[in-house]
Chain A
Amino acid sequence: MKSEFTPPIGKISNINGQCISLIGNDIDTDRIIPARFLKCVNFDSLGESVFEDDRKTLKGKHPFDLEENKNASILVVNSNFGCGSSREHAPQALMRWGIKAIIGESFADIFYSNCIAIGIPCFTLPKKSIEEIQNYCDNQFLFLEIDMKNSLAKSKDLNFYLEIKESSRKMFLSGEWDATSTLLENKNLIENKFNQLPYIKFNTNFL
């Protein structure tokens, strides 16, 4: 658990950091942050509870407990990462632990949207490349420099072209990934839409 947490703001064009590898398919959001930690009205203290049950089971051997990973900020995962519950608490917990970007074989839809909404870019790579990174991380530190504009990840030994949804990439480069203000710009269009929808008119019994 890192001491100072500052949420990302504005443009996210370069992410440099040490990789932390977490092996496993279908790692769900209940595992990332068990439901008992959802009893809160803010996200502030979630970082320390990330992967709580998995970490307890592994008694200090979980990647998030290893001394060599304590400064890592780029999480490398396998397929369908973040499946299950829509809890934004999951990426919030990862972010508060210190994760700034995730590279994986694939991500669950809602988890992906949540990450983008709070400023954690999620990149994909083919299974083979992920395994290459994870094997490398087994033996030595891997520091990656991610260049969002060119979707490129560089390091001393390994270089990859990362995939990211074009809409997400553009939002991070322009700094408009915090969607509220973008959506609010279309105030009039929203009003028009509301007035056009057929069911607004016939739902006279709506609450």
Chain B
Amino acid sequence: MSKGTLFDKVWDLHKVSSLPGGSDQIFIGLHLIHEVTSPQAFGALKDKNLTVKFPSRTVATVDHIVPTDNQSRPFKDNLAEQMIETLENNCLQHKIKFFNIGSGSQGIVHVVAPELGLTQPGMTIACGDSHTSTHGAFGSIAFGIGTSQVRDVLATQTIAMNKLNVRQIWCENQLSNGVYAKDLVLHIINKLGVKAGVGFAYEFAGPAINLLSMEERMTICNMSIEGGARCGYINPDEKTFSYMKNKLCAPKNEHWEKALTWWKSLKSDEDSIYDDVIKIDASKIEPTVTWGITPGQSIGINQQIPLLDELSPNDKLVAEEAYAYMSFKPGQSIKDTPVEVCFIGSCTNGRISDLRVAAKVLKDKKVSKNVKAFVVPGSEKVANEAKQEGLDQIFKDSGFQWREPGCSMCLAMNSDKLIGNQISASSSNRNFKGRQGSPNGRTLLMSPAMVAAAAINGKVSDVREFIN
């Protein structure tokens, strides 16, 4: 078992009891909820005649089902309207703070909590969403839970969970120009596989990680789950603290100093013991694109889709499924693959820095006439900041549609969907079959800069040809 890591420290601090079966009862410092996975949990509370134990430790927003074109109420989609109403009522009844549309702070739950300063080092954070691992970028221990566990957190502020093992992923050197956090995490998932993280928390560390901005770190931790790890984290440092300073809910004045001292004590000890350590050379990574139906099926922009013989026996089954579903041939180049839809957004890459980097590529350029391109800011704050910087205009001038904040076509619960077997270049996190709303729709995951490049050329392109 691991010892002395940030994970161990935070876990031990939040352990309430050892449960009879051998799992631990863990206190959840911050609970985030949204409209999709919470209604049944509130329903269960009602059935069991229970109340919310610590309403101040739960914060809500609405993201998955919100339309991104017309957000006036009632929503055109009755079911979506019913879901937002249910969340509104549950929050009102249980006195839970809710950042609704128009509040100025609504958005994707994993974008909103960090920008409000709710996400802090040393906390345990849970949410009924697998991308909760995002918050680990601040040195919190954050993981996705299902609806029954949402019920448990509401009722007790705790969950029953087996302690995870800890794998350190040490990233050496630094990413080269035109290569981003998204490329790094896709590369890591490709190298380790999509199930290597089962039973593990991932600690991302090393020079390449230290150099990343907080938003880039969020991209890395966000996709831990795509490598099978429900929790991923990075030790907090000066970048973490300066990002948090003056955020709405961050500690203030003398509390800030106390918080800082405590946060600094949390990071993994020099002599920590890990259950496993993996080394990655960040300088060797190219802009990376997925070609298949799992986030592990990715290649560098100049590589070819692997031949069956090049794959390990365990990967062959899914590779064959992927060739057929994607209509790609083994050995084919990914570069120049025509794309029909370009999507920039999601909890992985819908933050202001993502929009800035994409806008930089798009400035004074036009989206290919064969492409439908749209950008969905991760939150109202991101949207406002982008507007202040004039990024919305750059997107619109290039031919991108500028939308309202939400999860949108990452999972296509609203009306933003692929049609038929369309291929999208997407800055989101999952390329599963049918993920973007069409049962035979196809998704190529890549960085927002790469999506911008693909939008201009109408085909998968190397963004390094656009930036000097």
Interface residues of A (CB under 8 A from B): 23-26, 28, 30-31, 34-36, 38-43, 53-54, 56-57, 78-80, 83-89, 91, 106-110, 113-114, 117-118, 165-171, 174, 176, 178-180, 182-184, 186, 189-190, 193-194, 197-207
Q: A88-B148, A166-B21, A197-B29 are in contact. Are A36 and B161 (CB under 8 A)?
A: no
Q: A87-B37, A176-B20 are in contact. Are A35 and B97 (CB under 8 A)?
A: no
B194–A110 CB distance below 8 A: no
A86–B144 CB distance below 8 A: yes
B262–A198 CB distance below 8 A: yes
B439–A56 CB distance below 8 A: yes
Q: A24-B318, A180-B50, A205-B248 are in contact. Are A42 and B158 (CB under 8 A)?
A: no
B68-92 vs A, Cβ < 8 Å mask (1 yes, 0 no): 0000000001011011001000000
Counting chain A CB atoms within 10 Å of each CB, which of B13, B23, B129, B430 scores highest? Answer: B23
B439–A53 CB distance below 8 A: yes
**Identity of the chain A residue whose Cβ is nearest the Cβ of B36 in the assembled complex:** A38
Given A174-B21, A199-B123, A202-B256, 16 more A-B residue pairs with CB atoms under 8 Å apart are A25-B314, A31-B432, A38-B413, A39-B80, A41-B82, A41-B83, A80-B195, A88-B37, A88-B147, A88-B148, A91-B146, A180-B151, A180-B155, A186-B16, A203-B255, A206-B56
Chain B residue numbers with a CB within 8 Å of A182 are: 19-20, 160
**Identity of the chain A residue whose Cβ is nearest the Cβ of B262 in the assembled complex:** A198
Per CB-CB distance, the 4 closest pairs between chain A and chain B, nearest first, are: A88-B146, A167-B21, A114-B146, A117-B148
A199–B29 CB distance below 8 A: yes
Decide if B222 is an interface residue (CB 8 Å cutoff): no
Alpha-carbon distance between A167 and B163 when the two chains are bound, in angstroms: 12
Decide if B14 is an interface residue (CB 8 Å cutoff): yes
Decide if B268 is an interface residue (CB 8 Å cutoff): no
Q: How far is the CB of A8 from chain B (nearest CB, A)?
A: 13
**Identity of the chain B residue whose Cβ is nearest the Cβ of A28 in the assembled complex:** B432
A41–B130 CB distance below 8 A: no
B195–A106 CB distance below 8 A: yes
B317–A57 CB distance below 8 A: no
A43–B194 CB distance below 8 A: no
Chain A residue numbers with a CB within 8 Å of B317 are: 23-25, 78
Chain A residue numbers with a CB within 8 Å of B439 are: 34, 53, 56-57
Chain B residue numbers with a CB within 8 Å of A179 are: 148-149, 152, 159-160
A117–B146 CB distance below 8 A: yes
Q: A171-B21, A183-B156, A206-B249 are in contact. Are A194 and B198 (CB under 8 A)?
A: no
Q: A88-B146, A207-B249 are in contact. Are A193 and B27 (CB under 8 A)?
A: yes
Decide if B157 is an interface residue (CB 8 Å cutoff): yes
Alpha-carbon distance between A114 and B318 when the two chains are bound, in angstroms: 24
B29–A42 CB distance below 8 A: no
Partner among A85, A193, A203 whose Cβ is within 8 Å of the Cβ of B249 = A203
Chain B residue numbers with a CB within 8 Å of A202 are: 251, 255-256, 258-259, 262
**Identity of the chain B residue whose Cβ is nearest the Cβ of A206 in the assembled complex:** B249
Q: A84-B130, A183-B152, A202-B251 are in contact. Are A166 and B22 (CB under 8 A)?
A: yes
Q: A42-B40, A83-B228 are in contact. Are A204 and B255 (CB under 8 A)?
A: yes
Q: A166-B22, A179-B160 are in contact. Are A204 and B252 (CB under 8 A)?
A: yes
Decide if B378 is an interface residue (CB 8 Å cutoff): no
Alpha-carbon distance between A53 and B432 when the two chains are bound, in angstroms: 12
**Identity of the chain A residue whose Cβ is nearest the Cβ of B50 in the assembled complex:** A180
Q: How large is the interface on B (under 10, 10 to 19, 20 to 34, 35 or more residues)?
A: 35 or more
Chain B residue numbers with a CB within 8 Å of A118 are: 148
Q: A39-B65, A109-B230, A189-B16 are in contact. Are A183 and B25 (CB under 8 A)?
A: yes
| Cβ contacts A to B, 29 pairs, < 8 Å | A28-B433, A30-B432, A35-B411, A38-B64, A53-B433, A53-B439, A79-B314, A85-B129, A86-B145, A113-B145, A113-B161, A114-B149, A170-B20, A178-B148, A179-B160, A180-B151, A182-B160, A183-B25, A184-B50, A186-B16, A186-B25, A189-B17, A189-B25, A199-B259, A199-B262, A205-B117, A205-B251, A206-B56, A207-B249
Q: How far is the CB of A158 from chain B (nearest CB, A)?
A: 23
Alpha-carbon distance between A115 and B17 when the two chains are bound, in angstroms: 23
A84–B430 CB distance below 8 A: yes
B437–A110 CB distance below 8 A: no
Alpha-carbon distance between A174 and B369 when the two chains are bound, in angstroms: 63
Chain B residue numbers with a CB within 8 Å of A189 are: 16-17, 25
Alpha-carbon distance between A54 and B314 when the two chains are bound, in angstroms: 22
Alpha-carbon distance between A35 and B441 when the two chains are bound, in angstroms: 14
A86–B251 CB distance below 8 A: no
B397-437 vs A, Cβ < 8 Å mask (1 yes, 0 no): 00000000000000111000000000000000010111101
Alpha-carbon distance between A25 and B316 when the two chains are bound, in angstroms: 10
B145–A190 CB distance below 8 A: no
Chain B residue numbers with a CB within 8 Å of A193 are: 14, 16, 27
Chain A residue numbers with a CB within 8 Å of B250 are: 205
Alpha-carbon distance between A38 and B318 when the two chains are bound, in angstroms: 26
Chain B residue numbers with a CB within 8 Å of A200 are: 29
Decide if B330 is an interface residue (CB 8 Å cutoff): no
A40–B146 CB distance below 8 A: no
Decide if B4 is an interface residue (CB 8 Å cutoff): no
